[in-house]
């Protein structure tokens, strides 16, 4: 029989598929459980606000039509909100899509991407898929070590990926540190600052990178509607960059990568400041109480500014993860991130966090 594996492009053969959090429906099927708590994928437990829900309902009437391939209305809304020229915007099928577009446009065989150990799993995937080379800088206390990352930048480096805050660690970089780093990066190396969780960050020293976009033409900022905006299932995110970079990303973009319902919901969500504020406040309060609950169990965790905590189980966490599943609680094991003792737990509603803590106490 034909070997369809060896027939694939070598860069594709070497990929390891992304491991998503276990869907609730799958666990329900496997264990016959109901009332499952999923704290595995950093989703917003409140769900989208009323304005986004209404926009989705309205958009349903038009799904026989192709969406606006240029996403004009959403781009205009983002442009106004952030005071950034529309020509700097690239819409993606999730910000993951934008990361992929960057890899397709700027990486490839012989070209290097620099990122940190424990950084978001999509960076090596997108880089390797196009035949690019991954240069992984050792982390310091699980956080990005910008000095170590700078040391890896060489003549073949085209892209640096930085997640701020980072997933799965929840660690973050200050304005001063990130600014000093970008200032030192050669102008012909793109610095991608992935801000999937920026809405959650309330630290005073957290940078407003959008304001740097004109000062640093090689800066790309990516954001998403999947996390605080609660639209993960719709797949919509965006990149902010120099217009010429946006032009290049646009050339490799699928014509209708952002779907009609997502475009409408994202635009409405952007206007719903009250729901976003409610989301951020809930996360602040519940992250604190979850932290206290974890500490009370005698466990340590990496301090996080996102909507998740990576908890150190003090031993290999795979069996604890399995035992939690038996209790109907889904969290995210981090062995594939090289963190076999950690479980990443999304901050949920008060009762969800309580269920998690009760289950964790029982299985420990």
Contact positions vs ligand PLP (CB under 6 A):
94-96, 120, 163, 167, 194, 196, 224, 226-227, 232, 237
Residue 364 C-beta: closest distance to ligand PLP, Å: 27
Instruction: Quote the least distance from Cβ 258 to ligand PLP, whole Å.
Output: 11
Short-list 328, 215, 230, CA closest to 278: 230
| Nearest CB to ligand PLP, comparing residues 194 and 327 | 194
Q: Please list, in sequence order, all residues whose beta carbon lies within 8 angstroms of the beta carbon of residue 263, skipping any fewer than 6 positions away.
A: 59, 67, 68, 71, 73, 74, 91, 236
Q: How far is the CB of 244 from ligand PLP (least distance, A)?
A: 23
- For 295, the token pair is 């500490």
Please report how close the Cβ of residue 81 comes to ligand PLP at its closest, in angstroms.
Answer: 17
The nearer residue to ligand PLP, 227 or 242, going by C-beta atoms, is 227
Helix intervals (H) in the chain: 4-7, 10-13, 24-31, 50-60, 72-82, 95-106, 122-129, 146-152, 175-184, 243-252, 260-271, 273-296, 318-326, 350-363
CA dist 207 and 177 (Å) reads: 9
CB of residue 164 vs ligand PLP: minimum separation in angstroms? 9
Nearer to ligand PLP by Cβ, of 166 and 353: the residue is 166
At residue 15, the 3 state secondary structure works out as coil
Beta carbons within 10 angstroms of residue 119's beta carbon: 23
In the complex, the smallest distance separating the C-beta of residue 33 from ligand PLP, rounded to whole angstroms, is 26
If the CB atoms of residues 226 and 341 are measured against ligand PLP, the closer one turns out to be 226
* Closest distance of CB 163 from ligand PLP, Å: 4
Beta carbon nearer to ligand PLP, 45 or 94: 94
Give me the least distance between CB of 251 and ligand PLP, in Å please. Answer: 21
CB nearer to ligand PLP: pick between 92 and 328: 92
Task: Count other C-beta atoms under 10 Å from residue 332's C-beta.
Answer: 25
> Residue 108: left if φ>0, alpha if ψ -120 to 50, beta else—which one?
left
Residue 170 vs 328, nearer CB to ligand PLP: 170
Beta-ladder partners of 223: 238
Find the residue with minimal CB distance to ligand PLP. Answer: 94
Q: State yes or no: cis peptide before 291, omega within 30 of 0.
A: no
State the Cα–Cα distance between residues 246 and 284, nearest whole angstrom: 34
Neighbours of 278 (CB within 10 A): 13
- Nearer to ligand PLP by Cβ, of 96 and 279: the residue is 96
170: three-class secondary structure by DSSP: coil
Query: Who's near 200: CB < 8 A, 6+ residues apart?
Result: 165, 227, 228, 280, 283, 305, 306, 307
* Nearest approach, Cβ of residue 119 and ligand PLP (Å): 8
Query: Rounded to 5 degrees, what are φ and ψ at 56?
Result: -65, -45
Round to whole Å and give the CA distance between 75 and 73. Answer: 5
Q: 105 vs 357, which CB is nearer to ligand PLP?
A: 105
């Amino acid at each position: 029989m034909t070997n369809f594996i060896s027939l694939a492009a070598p860069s594709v053969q070497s990929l390891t598929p992304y491991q998503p959090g276990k869907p609730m429906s799958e666990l329900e099927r496997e264990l016959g459980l109901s009332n499952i708590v999923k704290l595995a994928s950093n989703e917003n437990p409140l769900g989208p606000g009323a304005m986004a829900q209404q926009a989705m309902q309205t958009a349903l009437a038009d799904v026989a039509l192709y969406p606006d391939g240029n996403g004009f209305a959403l781009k205009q809304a983002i442009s106004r909100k952030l005071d950034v020229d529309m020509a700097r915007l690239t819409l993606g099928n999730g910000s993951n899509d934008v990361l992929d577009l960057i890899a397709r446009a700027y990486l490839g065989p012989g070209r290097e991407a620099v990122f940190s150990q424990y950084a978001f799993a999509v960076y090596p995937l997108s880089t390797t898929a196009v035949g690019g080379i991954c240069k992984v800088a050792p982390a310091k206390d699980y956080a990005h070590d910008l000095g170590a990352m700078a040391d890896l930048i060489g003549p073949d480096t085209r892209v640096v990926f930085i997640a701020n805050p980072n997933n799965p660690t929840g660690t973050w970089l200050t304005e001063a540190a990130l600014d000093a780093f970008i200032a030192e990066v050669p102008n012909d190396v793109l610095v991608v600052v992935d801000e999937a969780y920026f809405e959650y960050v309330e630290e005073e020293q957290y940078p407003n990178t959008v304001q740097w976009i004109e000062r640093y033409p090689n800066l790309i900022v990516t954001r998403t509607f999947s996390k605080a905006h609660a639209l993960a299932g719709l797949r919509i995110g965006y990149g902010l960059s120099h217009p010429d970079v946006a032009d290049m990303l646009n050339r490799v973009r699928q014509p209708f990568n952002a779907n009609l319902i997502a475009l409408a919901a994202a635009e409405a969500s952007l206007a719903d400041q009250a729901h976003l504020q409610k989301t951020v406040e809930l996360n602040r309060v519940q992250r604190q109480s979850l932290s206290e609950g974890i500490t009370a169990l005698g466990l340590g965790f990496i301090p996080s500014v996102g909507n998740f905590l990576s908890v150190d189980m003090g031993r290999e966490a795979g069996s604890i993860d399995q035992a939690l599943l038996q209790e109907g609680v889904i969290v995210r094991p981090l062995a594939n991130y090289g963190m076999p003792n950690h479980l990443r737990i999304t901050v949920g509603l008060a009762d969800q966090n309580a269920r998690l803590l009760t289950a964790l106490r029982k299985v420990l």
